[in-house]
Structure 1
């Protein structure tokens, strides 16, 4: 089902009425507000998404009776006077997505009419469950309507009202007003008025409605009805209510005005990353009002033609620069962050420890499952984490081989197209490219191997050898029955291709050392996929052979070197895996190193580490690497750190993020995707491996790979890459993918897609929590754009 946009209409101030508890008078407050609008010769509308209990007592019936002509509607009515999730058990339960779509459609219809105020009233308290058992605060979050909170005037009401407010704020709602009944005994209204005034949220206290008669009969019902009519006439005319309605309308218009000016103001004030500003216009800037699950809620000119809503759901196709793992606005991670902020704020880490940092180190080592790893070093992002990794690797190599880095140039081994970050040190670990060619301090210290690429072309998986490598490798392109067979390294390591790879790698390194006098201090790889270099899918056999040659032939790097006796000890060169992009389930496994069946000596993880919520990075190393820095001299220590090293908020969030992904891996959350990739493809005689799978369907890859404009595709884990044909040869400066990017940005009637391009490559990523239904809608859009 297509996603639902957040609720914002220029012509219709629409608000959601939440209660701090059950029986706090939400419907009475709604009726007061609707009467006040109607008294101004304007029109009000009241929507009750889910109602339980007898029809005569239904909230929408109350509005119909006392609302002075208010338009009312109820979407789902259940007879039992219990919580919606219990009442729904005996009925056809509406899916949450269907319920949200119905609400959004109703409000959109009202916005096209002459309605001046719409109220959407919840059932019970903030966390009362909806029909499917989800908290209403989470159920209605995709709409993110501004909130009218009805506080509790009863004993204990101060606590429940503040708790309800905090629960809503934690989920990113805007609370625009608070109302409650005056009670001269408890006087909650006085305390709460002061509390919310400090937060610039207006509070309006209302006189309490007349009590219901103790005995109900025809006479008492008539008197009760007349008393309520009188109550509504009086209260709805009060100046505080009229002023509040004006404020709600003003806030709606102010919100739209702020969104309208954001792009212009951003162009004036902000220097964007990876952006050439010359020729850039404000219309090129995406204005994001909020985000939830896989979608941004964006404001701009390309809204759906079928709705006059100001916000449109936009699929976050770059996973917000590869960070999103558990969806935007994840309430569990938000609560974890709030807990850590409340418990610690920030505390320094050098020579100290706190529970989140210790728990994360323990869980991370277990998640990665590398027997070499014993130590976790904390930094704040992937680039600085890689800086630490390089320091570790080079120190270990220089220490073992007796090199003096102050007198000798120490280089690294890697792959062409690698990129490990934008700080000066790791920038030197990449070959010259658009990223660094105009960075004045860049020197480029290393050798970078060209390598065969994995891709699907015309429905067939193949390993394609670059033209300039074919003569040196003595091999041609190879075809495979499935993606799983590409990763069958147990079988492929005994192949002729593996021998050619090893021979080529060995002779190249030998030549660089012996003839050119190069000294290498580390092997650095992005396992499986090289991200920033253009989503390059390296033949896993080549990366495995490169690692094996380095480890099996330490004499290449120092004439007197020999293989260590202890298996966990590093050999040849320290092997560093940059898993900032590919690690922690991005490719469907806890560690991308497992695809190569290699245990590196050092590995770096970030991005998905915190589920995309907050920056944090870890550099994990073996005991032997750690011991290299141990000596009586302070200067021999790893003198690297940050003010926010191992900050408690990030560590707490990361623990919960890893726990969630580990649980999903164990409980079969991705079995549906795996089943698709385990089934026989159209041109295969054998099944693929369920250990190698993607959230993107095999049929999509088959179809796109045959499209006229497409050179090749691949999909693995949450990553989809589409290489467009380019007569100029592609590369980072290519514009071949811009057309596809623009088509996705235009989108369809229901949603569009925010995507990033790397030259002639357009890539898309999902979260690990993406729903199959959402991805199916996105696949439809891709097919319509390319086929």
Structure 2
């Protein structure tokens, strides 16, 4: 089913009514507001929606509105006659429970219909309290979050109501809701309204206290219902005369208009003041900037200008976050578990300085990383703020260890790195030098480029066949292109390493390094690789066998690199312990690590344990910036001496920020639980290599898989404009044919990007391009039905 955009109309002021608790008078307040709006102007049309109602039909809230706010349009989407929580009522009746997405879509559809038929004001009333469960058992605060309607909160006037009211407000705030007003009934004994008035004034949220409604008479009497109706009619008339409901409605109207005006002006204001990263501003106009009102799950809620929507269309549109918010999003936007973890750590610590101290989130995260990394070498964790600075630390570690072993003086001679063409490790000056000359660095005045970068075979599906294509100028040493029956077979590295292709790879790498060192006089301090996929270089899918062979040669032939080869080779064998051989191996898993490719570590595809590994991006599930650089004890010891100047003198004021560390623990544990529980087995089954039915079983599930369907990749590989396609984990990459040769400056993918961003339906797709490559990413929590909707747009655009 198509995703639902948040609800915002110029013509319709829609609010959601939440209660701080059950039985706080939500429907009575809704009746008061509906009556007041109708009295404002004769042309006002008012509506009331109860998505889920429980209890006898004659007592239903929409019936009460019909009786006491005559002229109000009312609708109830799901009615259960049992007076219990909706999740229990649905079970008792053996009812086909609507999925949360269906319920939210029904609410949105109803509001859209009202907006298109002249309704000016609508209330959407919840059941029970803020966290009362919906039909599926999920908290209402989360159930209705995709709509992000502004909130009218009904506070609790009873004993204990101050606490429940403030807790309800904070729960809504934690989920990104805007509370526009608070109402409650006056109780002259508890006087909650006086305390809460002061509390909410500090938040600039208007609070209105109302007279207490009459108690309902016992329904045993024959005329009890009539007396109750009469008493309530009298009450509503008295409230209309004695309360400043009109003033409150004016404030609600103003807030709705202000919200739209802010969204309308954001692009112009940003165009005036913001300097965007990776953006050429020459010729850029305000209309090229997309205002984002909020984000939830896999979607932005983007603002659509008034001249682009009809009266019934919301001014906010669901837009699939196709770059996974530039590769950081793992557990969905607005994840309440991560938000709660962040709030807990913020309340417990704020930020505390780190050197010489320890706090529980940093220690818990470090221990979790060491025990779950699957790499016996990695024993120490160094904290930084982002991937680029984490890689700076990794390079310092690697070069120091190599210089210490080989007796080099880096201040007097050039120490370089080995890497791959198209690699990219960040924009800080140090790691920028670890990448070959490119668009990213060619006009950076301090860039020098200190290294050698191997060209390499690339993997893609083309014409329905998985191919490993050799660079044109390396076909002689590397051999002809290779074809494979499945993606699993491409990754069968332990089998392939003994093949003729493996031998050719190793010989070419060994000869190249020997020439660089012994003929050209270069000195290398580390091997740095992005395992499997080189992200910013253009989603380059390196043949995993080539990366494996590169690591094997570097570790297996230490005599290539320095005169202390014996010292380099001493101790344990390269793969059995922490002793490094040849050069320290650094894996930049900033992009590819932590389940981005479907596994805890992308290094596991290569069966190589690095000496240093860097993780960021998905580390906090997409909520906060944080990075870790992990290293072996032997790398750590290279910095140990009596001299302070020999220490790793690198750090940031916010190093090991407690909030980020706490969120990272929550994020990693959640992803690990998903892996252990088989949450992705459906995707693995889709990518299972074709086997006879007698051999097919869960034991044969694909070891390499993607959330993007195998059939989609196969079909797109036949598209006329597609040069190659691949999917692995959450990543889908499409290389478009370009007669000019492709590359980062290519515009070949712009047309497809434009089609996806203006699909014309109820939602569209935000995507990024890298020259002739368009890629899409999902979260690890993305729903299959949502992904299939995106795939449908791709099919329409390309097939």
| TM-score interval, smaller chain | over 0.9
Give the 3-state SS of the residue equivalent to 2:459 in structure 1: strand
1:303 is displaced (CA, Å) by: 5.9
Aligned residue number for residue 528 of structure 1: 532
Indicate if the aligned counterparts of 2:219 and 2:225 stay in contact, CA closer than 8 A.
no
**What is the distance in 2 between the residues matched to 1:116 and 1:307?**
12
Q: Say yes or no: does 1:46 pair with 2:58.
A: no
Q: Which moved more, 1:566-575 or 1:543-552?
A: 566-575
Question: How far does residue 128 in structure 1 lie from its aligned partner after superposition?
Answer: 0.3
Alignment match, 2:284: 280
Aligned partner of residue 177 in structure 1, secondary structure = strand
1:709 to 2:691 alignment: no
After TM superposition, give the deviation of residue 565 of structure 1 in Å.
2.0
* 1:566 CA displacement: 2.0
Residue by residue, what CA displacement relative to the aligned partner does 1:198-257 show, whole Å, maximum 9, x if unpaired?
000000000011111145423332222111111112213445111111111111111111
Alignment of 1:153-168 (within 5 A): 153-168=157-172
SS state at 2:466 partner? strand
Answering whether residue 567 of structure 2 is matched by residue 539 of structure 1, we say no
Residue pairs, 1:13-24, within 5 angstroms = 13-24=13-24
Q: What is the alpha-carbon distance in structure 1 between the residues aligned to residue 241 and residue 375 of structure 2?
A: 70
SS, match of residue 436 in structure 1: coil
Q: Which residue of 2 aligns with 1:655?
A: 665
Do 1:303 and 1:311's aligned partners in 2 also have CA atoms closer than 8 Å?
no
Choose the corresponding residue for 1:61, options 60, 63, 72: 63
Matches within 5 A, 1:302-317: 307-317=312-322
Does residue 1:252 correspond to 2:256, yes or no? Answer: yes
Change (3 A) 1:215 1:129: closer
Distance 1:197 1:7, change over 3 A: same
Shifted more, 565-574 versus 608-617: the winner is 565-574
The one of 182, 185, 190 equivalent to 1:186 is 190
* 1:497 counterpart residue number: 501
Range 634-643 or range 299-308, more displaced:
299-308
- Rounded to whole Å, the distance in 2 between the matches of 1:657 and 1:560 is 43
Is the aligned partner of 1:336 residue 2:341? yes
In the other structure, the counterpart of 2:738 is 726
Structure-2 residue corresponding to 1:118: 122
Please, which of 498, 503, 510 is the counterpart of residue 506 of structure 1? 510
Deviation at 1:306, TM superposition (A): 9.4
The match for 1:236 is 240
Instruction: For 1:715 and 1:351, locate their aligned partners in 2 and report how far apart those are by CA, in whole Å.
Output: 44
> For residues 591-634 of structure 1, what are the alpha-carbon distances to aligned partners after superposition, in whole Å with 9 as ceiling and x for unaligned?
00000000000000001000000000000000000011001000
Where do 5+ consecutive residues of structure 1 fail to align?
none
- 1: CA distance, partners of 2:499 / 2:311: 58
In 1, are the aligned partners of 2:730 and 2:779 still within 8 Å (CA)?
yes
SS in 2 for 1:93: coil
Structure 1 residue 736 corresponds to structure 2 residue 742: no
Q: What is the aligned partner in structure 1 of residue 199 from structure 2?
A: 195
Taking structure 2 as the reference length, the TM-score comes to: 0.97
Asked whether the equivalents of residues 581 and 607 of structure 1 are also in contact (C-alpha less than 8 Å), the reply is: yes
CA contact (8 A) 1:53 1:81 kept: yes
Moved more, 556-565 or 586-595: 556-565
Whole-angstrom CA distance in 2 between matches of 1:215 and 1:513: 96
Task: Please tell me whether the aligned partners of residues 685 and 701 of structure 2 are also in contact (alpha carbons under 8 angstroms).
Answer: no
Q: Which of 49, 72, 90 is the matching residue for 2:74?
A: 72
Q: Which residue of 2 aligns with 1:396?
A: 401
Partner of 2:572: 566
3-state SS, counterpart of residue 128 of structure 2: coil
8 Å contact kept, 2:467–2:481 = yes
Residues 62-461 of structure 1 aligned to structure 2 (within 5 Å): 62-89=64-91, 90=93, 91-214=95-218, 216-301=220-305, 307-461=312-466
Match of 2:3 in 1: 3
Distance 1:760 1:387 in 2: 29
Following the alignment from structure 2 to structure 1, what is the Cα–Cα distance between the partners of residues 30 and 176? 23
Contact persistence 2:419–2:527 (CA under 8 A): yes
Cα shift readout 1:52-74 (whole Å, capped 9, x = no counterpart): 00000000000011112111100
> How many Å separate the matches in 2 of 1:737 and 1:188?
60
Paired residues, number: 784
TM-score by length of 1: 0.98
Instruction: Show the counterpart of 1:576.
Output: 586
Q: Which moved more, 1:223-232 or 1:633-642?
A: 223-232
CA deviation vs aligned residue, 1:554-594 (integer Å, no higher than 9, x gap): 00001341312223200000000000000000000000000
Q: In structure 2, the residue corresponding to 1:272 is in which secondary structure?
A: coil
Aligned equivalent of 1:767, options 769, 779, 796 = 779
Query: In the aligned structure 2, how far is the partner of 1:214 from the partner of 1:307?
Result: 44
Post-superposition offset of 1:690: 1.6
Gaps of 5+ in 2: none
Preserved contact between residue 425 and residue 431 of structure 2 (Cα < 8 Å): yes
TM superposition shift of 1:374? 0.5
